[in-house]
Structure formats: structure tokens, C-alpha cells
Structure 1
Amino acid sequence: MSRRAPKASIDPDARKSWLRRALPLVKAHRGLLITSLVLSFLGLIVQVQIPNLVRIGIDKAIVEHSGRLATYVWAIVGLALGQGLINYLARLYLLRTAYELEYDLRNIVYAHLVRMPFGFYDRVQSGELMSRSGSDIRAVQMYLSFGPSILVQCLIAVVAFVLMLSINVPLAIVAMVTMPIIGVLGVSMRKAIFPVSWLIQARLARLATVVDENIQGVRIVKAFAAEGRQLRSLAESADRIRWAYQQDARIRSRWNPVLDNLPRLGLALVLIVGGILVIDGHTTIGTIVAFNSYVLMLQPPFRLLGMMIMMGQRASASARRIYEILDTPSDVVDDPQAVAPRLRGDLAFADVSFAYPNGTVALDHLNLTLRAGETVAVVGGTGSGKSTLGRLAARFYDVSGGAVTIDGIDVRKIELSSLRSQVGIVPDEPFLFSLSIHDNIAYGRPDAARAEVIDAAEAAGAAEFIEELPEGYDSVVGERGYTLSGGQRQRIAIARALLMNPPILVLDDATSAIDVTVEQRIHGSLKSRMRGRTTLIVAHRLSTISLADRVILMAAGRVIADGTHESLLASEPRYGEVLASAEAPPDPDPGAAAGELSGAERVVRR
């Protein structure tokens, strides 16, 4: 099924109330919503006719014996069946409206999230985003769709009051005397429940973050036997939510009984006043029975009104949390005059300065040029800014000063989709989706033929282990690819980048988890793939550095030496120190496959 674009969006004017901002979305689905509301209203018209028929039946057929009781009974049955059919259709259209609104809201939020730059995700917790994309959207959807329906349901009070006035004016006034009191109480309840609703949603988001981090980091938790500590952290978050829910329950328990029982007070008044009127001969027994039914009809709308008030406060809190995301602009966007050229690969960093959102300075007036088709290895200690080069080349972040250019064009003047399709990046910790190996390799080119996928896998040295899997390229990897070893995941990531055939390739320590022997085989195929392709290699191993035409040594965000491996060894002592520090062996990878044990590797983690 093809994806349908949202029919409308949220009003971007942050000065408006949350409901006015959501109105364009509601208007886009007004056909379904209005149909549902009209049907609901028709159902109410039918419903209020039944007590009136009961009144007439009692007075005419039972008291006065001037009509047939069966006639009124069958008329009541017919109205009940008609009301049932109308309510079924109204409910059907209402639920369709609700699901359409939720679909559009989710797509609006997700579309905004995928436009946000890396810096946004550096400072926002994933659990927070999950909560706002889940429970907050559901709270807003419930109010936008069911709120109007509840208002229509509350109209039964107006319709019933009109009918009561047509039957007996004094008794109608007595029956509705509690209405102003309910209105005042409803406003007071709304003011009391809003801050608690906000607190509940915020603490649910915090709990979602804790759960997400524990699931994603379960291997670390178990490795450090920290299950107890994490359970305590989860319990603390759950306790804070429980406290907030308890406050919510206290408010509800204080106000709801009053809102629910005020209509019953009206019933008692009707019985007292109506009984006196019957005794005095000013009304009939059928009228009292009908009025009792009408007063009982008023109770559900009042209960729904209380529920709507609570729904509205929760939706208000949730909408504001959603709007906080939607109102956060992306600072990495396409320029209005952006172009989409076919790039050759001349990559240059001209007086580039850059600091991450947390203030960490990564590059300090750096100057570096890579000619098209050149392979350059970047070497440096921890925090020297090596990995930042590739991130700026693909414009995951924008520079703080200076410019990054490709073929003389500032990357900020190139369409993002075009730029990123031509700058392939293989990170040191690759992410795999819970898809088949074929789909993971073909992620950038979903229409790629199997032969192309196999060719990319062979170039990355991945074909051998893939073919040994029970289902080969159709084998589905586990979440984040953890059913594979670290080296296997890296090889699939390399294949994924090679399949795109980008003119610029960034290998960010992309073979750090691969056995040296396997790495050498991969290098053999990579050399042929690098010809004519600008390649930036963040490297620590001598075997990886040997792929490069020249080597760049970085420190404190600057290039401090540039030359061949041999010339740097001979003239730059700091280069030898960096290479020597890379000889410290890492901890073994418990998931490494046979022949690919990380304990045999010499890797430096940045």
C-alpha cells in the first residue's frame, strides 16, 4: 500500500492556542466528522422521542383507555431499532475520523523528525521522542475526534429541555435547575487537572526513556551486572508516575461524584414538584414518568462532560509537547537556490571551525583539500576531529565558520538528498535494520537487483559469511544486527555504501572490528573500488593507512602534518606516537565469529 501524505498540517503560528493550531487538520477530515456528528444528533432526536411516546402511551392507553397500548409499544420498538442503526453508522464514521487524524498526526511528527539534523538528536532523548510520537499523539487524537462527538451527545440536554418545556414549563425549569452548578464545577475541575495532566505526560516520557535505554543497552547492563540498579531506576520513575496519577485520581474523586450526582438531585426535585402537580391536577402521571426518563438522560452527558474536560486538559498538555518538537526548526535545510549537480569529488575544507551542540570544539580553522579520485587517510588521537570531517562533508551538521565545498560548491548550496546520495559514509559502529541482509545492503537503493547486491557484498568481503547463513541474503538480522558479529555488521555497512557507488566515500574506522586477515582481503577489493573515487579514511591500523595516497595527521581540530606514511614517520614524531598508541589491544568481542576474533585485532576506539 502506498503511503498517503497528510491532508493538512499543524498551523505554524505559535501564538495561537493549541486547538486553533490543530484546526486545519480537523477541517481536512470535516466530511467524515460532520457525517458522524449529524448522525449522532439524529440519534439523539430519536432517543428523546421515546420518553414522550411512553408519556402519551401511559396517559392515553393506560389512564384514559383511549388508545391501543400495542401501538405505542411497537412505535417505541421501531424508534429503538432506528436509533441503534443510526448510532452504529455514527460510531463507524467517528472511528474512521479518529484513525485518519492519528495517521496524519503521526506522519506530520515523523516527517519533521526526519528533517531534524544530528544536533537535535544529540540533545533530545529517544524515549522522549517515542512518548511524544505515541501517547501524546493518541491524547490529541482522542480529543479532536471524540470531543466534538461528546459535545453533540451533550446536546441531548438541550433537546430534552425543549421537549420538557413543550410538556410542562414549571417542571422543566425544576429539572434543569442544577445545570449552572455543573457548569461552575466543570470550569473549576479543568483548572485543577491541567498541571497534573502535563506532569503525567512528562513523567511517562521519562519512563519511556529509561525503558528504551535499558532495552537498547541490555548487553552493557548485563555485562556490568547492573540489573538491580537499573530496576531501581525504573522503579523510581514508576513511583513518580504513580504519584502523579494519584494526584489525578484525587482530583477526579473530588469532582466526578458531584458531577455525576447532580442530575439525581434534579430527579428528586422532579418527583417532589411533579407529585404535587399531579395531586393538584396540573399534570399527569405519564408526564412524571417521561420527565424521570429525561432527567436520567441528562446524567450520561454530564459524565461525558467531565470526561471531556479531563481529555481536553490531557490533550492540551500533549499538544504543547508535540508542538515543542514541531516548533523546533531544523538548522540544516535546503537553500532556496540549492542545486543538484553530479559531483566529481573535489572535497575542500576552507578555514572550517565547528563545535558540537554541547559546546565541544571539534575543528579549529582547519584547512584540508582532497582532489577528486584521491584516497586520504586521517590519523589522530582521541578528540582530534577526525570523524567530524565526514559528518560535515555529508552536512549532518553545518560548520560554525568557514566552508566545506565539493567541486567548488559550498555543500550548503547543494540539495541535501543529492549531496547525501553522493557522499557515502560507513561509521565504525554501523546500524542495521531488522530486515533481510539483502534489504540492509540495498537500503540506499531499494530497487537494486540481487546481482548488484551480491557484487557489493563481495567487494566488502561479506559474501562468504552471508552465503553460509541458512537463508543467505534473505536471512533477517536481529534488532540492530546483533545476531551478527561486529565485523560482519561492518562489512554489510561497507557493502551498503558501495552499492550506492558514491563519488565520495568516507570510511570512519569502518574495519575496526574486522580480523586483520579478513581486512587484508577486503582491502584488495576496495583498492579497485576506490579508483576514481575520492575516499576519506579515518584510520588507526597500518594496513588501512596503506590504502591511502597520503596521510593527514590531526590534533586539536587542526591539520598538523600532511604527507605520505613514510615521510611522516621520518619527519613527524607525533605521527609515530599516534600509531604506537593504536597498538593497545581491545577487549574481546563476545559476538565475534570464528576467524574474526576481536582479541586478535589491534583497534583504537575513539
Structure 2
Amino acid sequence: MARRAPRAAIDPDRTKPWLRRAWPLVKAHRGLLVTSLLLSFVGLIVQVQIPNLVRVGIDRAVVDQTARLSTYVGWIVALALAQGVINYLARLYLLRTAYEMEYDLRNIVYAHLARLSFSFYDRVQSGELMSRSSSDIRAVQMYLSFGPSILVQCTIALVAFVLMLSINVPLAIVAMITMPVIGILGVTMRKAVFPVSWMIQARLAELATVVDENIQGVRVVKAFAAEGRQVRALAASADRVRWAYLQDARIRSRWSPLLDNLPRLGLALVLLIGGMMAIRGQTTVGTIVAFNSYVLMLQPPFRMLGMMIMMGQRASASARRIYQILDTRSDVTDPPQPRRGRVRGDLRFTGVRFAYPDGTVALTGLDLHVRPGETVAVVGATGSGKSTLGRLIARFYDVTSGSITIDGHDIRTLALADLRDQVGIVPDEPFLFSLSIHDNIAYGRPAASRADVMAAAQAAGADGFVRELPDGYDTVVGERGYTLSGGQRQRIAIARALLVNPPVLVLDDATSAIDVHVEQRIHAGLRTAMAGRTTVIVAHRLSTIGLADRVVLMERGRVVASGAHADLLAGEPRYAAVLAAQNEPADGADALEESR
């Protein structure tokens, strides 16, 4: 089924109230919503006619005996059936409106999350995002769809009041005397509820973060037998949520009984004043019965009014949390007139300086040129900035200063989608989806044939173990690919990158989890795959360095040496020291030759 684009977007004007900003979303679904509200209003008109029929029936058929009782009974039954049909249709259209708005809002939020740069995800917890993308969206959707319906339901008070005025003005005033007090209490309750609603949503997000981290890190938790400690952490977070809910419950228990019972006070006054008027002959028994029905009819709307106030405060807090995401602008965006086209792979770093959002400086004046089709191994101690290179080439981040060019064009002038389609990155900790191995390899080319997928797997040295799995390429891996070994996941990730056939390939220590002997067996396939392709290899092993035409040594965020492995090993002490620190033999010529 094709994905339908959202019909509207949230108003970007941050100065507007949250409801005004959400108005385009409501307006986009006004057809269904207005139909539902009109049907609800018609249903109310039908509903308020029934007590009036009861009044006339009692006065004429029972008291005066001037009409047949069955006539009024028939009309009441007919009106009740009509109201049932109307309410069914109104509810159907209302729920459709609610789910359509929820669909659009979820897509708006997710599409914006997909556009945000890596720096955003570096500082925001995933559980927080999950909460805002689920419970917060639901709170806003409930208010936008059911709020107008509740307001229409509340109009029954106005309709009933008009009918009561047409029947008996003094008694109508008595019946409605408590309603202004209800309005004042509702406003007071709204002011008390808002801060608690914000607190509830924030603490639910904290709880979601704890749960998410425990599920994602369950292997670490179990490895350190930390289940008890994590359960206590979850209990502490849940206790904070419970406290917030208890504050909400206290506010409800303080104000809701008043909102619920004030209409009942109106009922007592109707019985008292109406009874006295009936004794004096100023009204009829049927009128008192009808007014009792109208007062009882007013109770549910005003109870719903209290609920709507609570929903409104929860939605207001949730909307502001959602807007915090939507108002965040990506640090990395497409240029106004992006350059398109296939690149050759002439890669150049010129005076590149880069610091991560937390202030950590990764590169300081980096200069590096990688010729088209050249394979360069980047070597350096931990924290020297090696992995940052690949992230900057694909514009996961933008450089702080300096420039990165491909074929002489600054990568900031290229369309992001085109750039990332032509820069394949294999991280040291690859992520696999809970899909089949075929679908994981074909993630970048969903329409790829089985033959193409198998060819990429063979080049990455994955075909052998995949064929041994129960369902071969149709085997579904577990969440994050944890049903496979680390080395198997890395080979699947390499195959995924090779299938896209990018002109620039970045292998970020992509064979670190692969056995050295297995790694040597897949090098032939990698050499063939890298032929004519600009490749940057973040390397630690001599066997991996053997794939490169040239080796670059990095230190403190810049290139300090460049050349062939043997030359660097003989003339650059820092290079030998880095290899020794990584537990590789500094005189590993034999290993290097074997890898070649």
C-alpha cells in the first residue's frame, strides 16, 4: 500500500498558541470533522425533543386524557431509533477523523526526525523521542478530534435552555443557575492541571528512556548481573511517574466532584421550586418531569467538559514537547540549488577543523587528498579523528571550518541524497534490521535481484555462512542482528554497501570483528570490489592495511605522515608505535605480505 503524504503541516510560527499552530492539521480534515459535528448536533436536537414529548404526553394523555398515550410512545421510540443511527454515523466519522489526524501527525514528526542531523541524536535520548512520537501524539490527537465533539455535546445545554425558556422561564432560570459556577470552576481547574500535565509527560518520557536502554542493553545488563540494580532504577523512575499521577488525581478529586454534582443541585432546585409551582397551579407535572430530564441530560456534557479541560492541558503540554522537535532545525541541509550527478571520487580535505556538538575537537587543520580509485588506509591512536573522516565525507556533520570537496566541488553544494547515495559507509558496529538477510543486504537497493545480492555477499565473504543458515538468504535476523556473530554482521554490512556500488567507500574498521584468517580470505573479493573505487579504510590490523595503496598516519586530528607501509614502518617511529600499541607486530612484514 502506497504511503499517503500528510495533508497539512504544523504552523512554523512559534509565537502562536499551540492550538493555532495545529489548526492547519485540523483544517485539512475539516470535511470528516464537520460532518461528524453536524451529525452530533442533529442527534442532540433529536435528544432534547424526547423530554418535551414526555411532558406533552403526561399532561395530555395521562393527566388531561385528551390524547392517546400510544401516539407519544411511538414518537419517542422513533426519535430514539433515529438518534441511535445518527450517533452511530457521528461516532464513525469522528473516529475516522481522529485516526487520520494521528496518521498525519505521526508522519510529520517522523519525517522531521529523519531530516535532523546526527548532532540532534547525539544529545537527545531515544526513549524521549519514542515518548513524544507515541503518547504525546496520542494526547494531541485526542484533543483535536474529541475536543470539538465534546463542545458540541455541551451545546445541548444551550438547546435545552432555549426549550426550557419556551416552556417555563422562571423554572428554566432555576435549572441553569449553577452553570456559571461550573464555568468558573473549570477555568480554575485548568490552571491547576497544566503544570502537572507537563510533569506527567516529561516523566513518562524518562521512564520510556530507562525501558529502552534496558532493552537495547539487555546483554550488558545480564553480563554484569545488574538486573536488580536496573529494576530499582526502573522502580525509581516509575515512582516519579506515580507521584505525578497522584498529584493529577488529587486535583481531579478536588474539582471533579464539584463539576459533577453542581448539576444535581440544579435538579434539587427544580424539584423544590417546580413542586411549589405545581402546587400553586403555575406549572404542570409533565413540565417538572421534563425539566428533571433536561437537568439530568446536562450532567454528562458538563462531566465531559471537565474531562475536556484535563485533555486540553495534557494536549497543551504534549504539543509543546512535540513542537520542541519540530522547531529544531537540522545543522545539515540541502543547498538552495544543489549540484547533482555521478562523482568520480577525487576526495580532498583542506584545512578541515571539526568539533562535535559537545565541544570535543576531533580534527584540527586536516589536509588530505585521495585520488579517484585510490585506496587509503587511515591509521592512528584512539581519539586521533580517524572515524570522523567518514562521517564528514557523507555530511553526517558539517565541518567547523575548512572544506571537503569531491571532484573539486564542496560537498555542501551537493544534494544530500545524491551524496549519501555515492558514499558508502560500513561502520565498525553495523546495525541490521529485523528483516531477512536478503532485505538487509538490499537495504540500499530494495529492487536488487537475488543474484546481485549474492554477488555482493560473495565479495564481502558472507555467502558461505549465509548458505549454511536454515533459510539461507531468507533467514530473518534477530533485533539489531544479534542472532549473528559480530563478524557475520560486519560482512553483511560490507555486502550492503557494495551492492549500492558507490564511487566512494569508507570502511570504518569494518573487519575488526572478523577472524584474521577469515579476513584474509575475503580480501580478494574486497580488492575486486574496490578496484576503480575511491576507498578510505580506517585500519588497525596490518592485514587490513595491506588492502591500501597508501597509508596515512593521523595524530591529534591531523595527518602527520603519508606513504607506503614499509616506508612509514622504516622511517616514522610514531607509525611503528601506533601499530605496536594496537597489539600488532611492528615488524609484521610477513603478515602484510600474506594479506597481499
Deviation at 1:515, TM superposition (A): 0.8
Q: Cα deviations across residues 121-165 of structure 1 (Å, max 9, x unaligned)? A: 000000000000000000000000000000000000000000000
- Alignment match, 1:416: 416
Q: Which amino acid aligns with 1:300?
A: P
Residues in 2 aligned to 1:133 and 1:557: alpha-carbon distance in whole angstroms = 38
Runs (4+) of structure 1 exceeding 2 A deviation are none
| In 2, Cα distance between equivalents of 1:547 and 1:540 | 12
| Structure 2 match to 1:249 | 249
> Structure 1, residues 161-202: CA drift from partner, whole Å, max 9, x if none?
000000000000000000110010000000000000000000
Using the alignment, how far apart are the partners of 2:50 and 2:163 within structure 1? 11
Secondary structure, aligned partner of 2:364: strand
Structure 1 residues 584 and 78 mapped into 2: Cα distance closer, same or farther (>3 Å)?
farther
Distance 1:31 1:289 in 2: 39
- The equivalent residue for 1:525 is 525
Aligned to 1:432: 432
Instruction: Find the aligned partners of 1:82 and 1:113 in 2 and give their Cα distance.
Output: 47
Q: Could you say which residue in structure 2 is the equivalent of 1:7?
A: 7
Corresponding position of 1:464: 464
For residues 516-541 of structure 1, the C-alpha deviation after alignment (integer angstroms, 9 at most, x for no partner) is 11101111111111111000000000
Taking the aligned partners of 2:212 and 2:408, their CA distance within structure 1 comes to: 43
- In structure 2, the partner of 1:117 is 117
Counterpart for residue 95 of structure 2: 95
- Looking at structure 2, the residues matched to 102 and 522 of structure 1 have their Cα atoms a distance apart, in angstroms, of 48
1:504 aligns with 2:504: yes
Q: Secondary structure at the match of 2:314?
A: helix
Using structure 1 for the length normalisation, give the TM-score: 0.96
Distance, in Å, in 2 between the alignment partners of 1:462 and 1:263 is 73
CA distance in 2, matches of 1:463, 1:547: 21
- 1:56 pairs with 2:92: no
In structure 2, the residue matched to 1:333 is: 333
CA offsets per residue over residues 349-397 of structure 1, 9 Å max, x none?
0000000011100000100000000000000001000000000000000
CA shift at 1:228, angstroms?
A: 1.1
1:137-216 to structure 2, matched below 5 A, reads 137-216=137-216
Secondary structure of the corresponding residue to residue 245 of structure 1: helix
> How far apart are residue 261 of structure 1 and its match?
0.1
2:268 maps to a residue whose letter is A
- Quick one: distance in 2 between partners of 1:519 and 1:583? 17
Q: What is the one-letter code of the residue matched to 1:403?
A: S
> Using the alignment, how far apart are the partners of 1:521 and 1:30 within structure 2?
63
1:390 paired residue number: 390
Separation in structure 1 between the aligned mates of residue 363 and residue 90 of structure 2, nearest angstrom: 62
Tell me what 2:105 maps to.
105
Deviation at 1:88, TM superposition (A): 0.1
C-alpha contact (below 8 Å) 2:542/2:584 kept by paired residues: no
- The CA deviation string for residues 532-572 of structure 1, in whole angstroms up to 9 with x for no partner, is 10000000000000110010000110101111000100111
SS of corresponding position for 1:443: helix
SS for the counterpart of 2:443 is coil
Q: 2:366 maps to what in 1?
A: 366
Alignment map for 1:308-323 (pairs within 5 Å) = 308-323=308-323
Equivalence for 1:492: 492
The answer to whether 1:273 aligns with 2:273 is yes
Q: Are the counterparts in 1 of residues 562 and 568 from structure 2 also a CA contact under 8 Å? A: yes
| Amino acid of the structure 2 residue aligned with 1:553 | L
- Residue identity opposite 2:14 in structure 1: A
User: Aligned residue for 1:592?
Assistant: none
Q: State the distance in 2 between where 1:82 and 1:584 align.
A: 85
Code of the aligned partner of 1:301: P
Is the Cα contact below 8 Å between 2:119 and 2:331 reproduced in 1? no
Distance 1:457 1:532 in 2: 19
Match of 2:239 in 1: 239
Separation (CA, whole Å) in 2 of partners of 1:555 and 1:85:
76
Q: Take 1:262 and 1:207, find their aligned partners in 2: how far apart are those partners?
A: 38
Q: Distance in 2 between matches of 1:471 and 1:133?
A: 35
Does structure 1 conserve the Cα–Cα contact (< 8 Å) formed by 2:436 and 2:476?
A: yes
1:345 aligns with 2:345: yes
Q: Which residue of 2 aligns with 1:560?
A: 560
Inter-partner Cα distance in structure 2 for 1:328 and 1:530: 39
**Counterparts of 2:436 and 2:513, CA distance in 1:** 21
SS of 2:363 mapped into structure 1: strand
Match of 1:596 in 2: none
Partner of 2:295: 295
The residue aligned with 2:24 is 24
Indicate yes or no: 2:441 matched with 1:403. Answer: no
Q: In structure 1, how many angstroms separate the alpha carbons of the residues matched to 2:549 and 2:351?
A: 23
Q: Distance in 1 between matches of 2:108 and 2:564?
A: 50
Once the two structures are TM-superposed, the CA of residue 337 in structure 1 deviates from its matched residue by 1.5
Are the aligned partners of 2:541 and 2:584 in contact in 1 as well (CA < 8 Å)?
no
Q: Residue 552 of structure 1: SS of its match in structure 2?
A: strand
* Paired AA for residue 251 in structure 1: I
In structure 2, how many angstroms separate the alpha carbons of the residues matched to 1:518 and 1:532? 24
Aligned residue type for 1:438 = H
The Cα shift of 1:341 comes to 1.8
Q: How far 1:584 sits from its partner (Å)?
A: 7.5
The yes-or-no answer on 1:77 pairing with 2:91 is no
Distance in 2 (CA, whole Å) between partners of 1:68 and 1:100 is 49
Secondary structure at the aligned position of 2:174 is classed as helix
Where 1:5 maps in the other structure, the secondary structure is coil
Is the partner of 2:342 in helix, strand or coil? coil
CA deviations over 1:269-309 (Å, ceiling 9, x no partner):
00011011101111100000000000000100110000000
2:594: which partner in 1? Answer: none
CA-CA distance at 1:582 after TM superposition: 1.3
Q: Deviation digits for residues 442-464 of structure 1, max 9, x if unmatched?
A: 00000001100000000000000
3-state secondary structure, aligned to 1:111: helix
2:449 is aligned to: 449
Q: Which letter maps to 2:54?
A: V
Shift of 1:339: 1.0
SS at structure 2 position matched to 1:425? strand
Instruction: Letter of the 1:503 partner, please give it.
Output: P
Structure-1 residue corresponding to 2:355? 355
Aligned to 1:220: 220
State how far apart, in whole Å, the 1-side matches of 2:352 and 2:516 are.
34
> Match of 2:535?
535
Task: Report SS of the residue matched to 1:339.
Answer: coil
CA contact (8 A) 2:425 2:508 kept: yes
State how far apart, in whole Å, the 2-side matches of 1:372 and 1:120 are: 33
Q: Which runs of 5+ in 1 are unaligned?
A: 586-601
- How far did residue 325 of structure 1 move? 0.3
For 2:188, the aligned partner's letter is S
Measure the CA separation in 2 of the matches of 1:337 and 1:257.
61
Amino acid in the other structure paired with 2:453: V
Distance (Å, rounded) in 2 between the aligned partners of 1:186 and 1:133: 29
Distance 2:154 2:409 in 1: 63
